[in-house]
């Protein structure tokens, strides 16, 4: 399993640790088992609507890490 960046890596780890089969995740989310398999192997990415469905099923949320600067974010005090 390849984790090329933080979000996809975290999603892959959450899927693997969920204790649910890919079949169940596919049935509950509407994301195909084949797409899940390709995503988990690192062969393909996942479209954002599918990521949203998976995150909702797994109880995941994307949060900002305090103190980290993001590109295009306004600077404090200036």
> Could you tell me the sign of the dihedral formed by the alpha carbons of 42, 58, 10, 30, in that order?
positive
Domains located in the chain, CATH noted: 6-58 (1.10.260)
> pLDDT by residue (tens digit) across 58-74?
999 988 888 766 666 56
Query: What's the pTM?
Result: 0.76
Assess whether pLDDT exceeds 70 at residue 5: yes
For 5-69, give the DSSP string.
SHHHHHHHHHHHHT---HHHHHHHH---HHHHHHHHHTSS---HHHHHHHHHHHT----PPTT--
> pLDDT by residue (tens digit) across 17-45?
999 999 999 999 999 999 999 999 999 99
């Amino acid at each position: 399993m390849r984790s090329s960046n933080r979000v996809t890596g975290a999603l892959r780890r959450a899927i693997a640790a969920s204790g649910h089969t890919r079949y169940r995740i596919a049935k509950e989310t509407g994301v195909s088992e084949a797409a899940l398999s390709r995503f988990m192997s690192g062969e393909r990415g996942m479209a954002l609507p599918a990521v949203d469905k998976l995150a909702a099923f797994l109880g995941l949320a994307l949060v900002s890490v305090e103190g980290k600067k993001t590109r295009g974010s306004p600077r404090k005090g200036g």
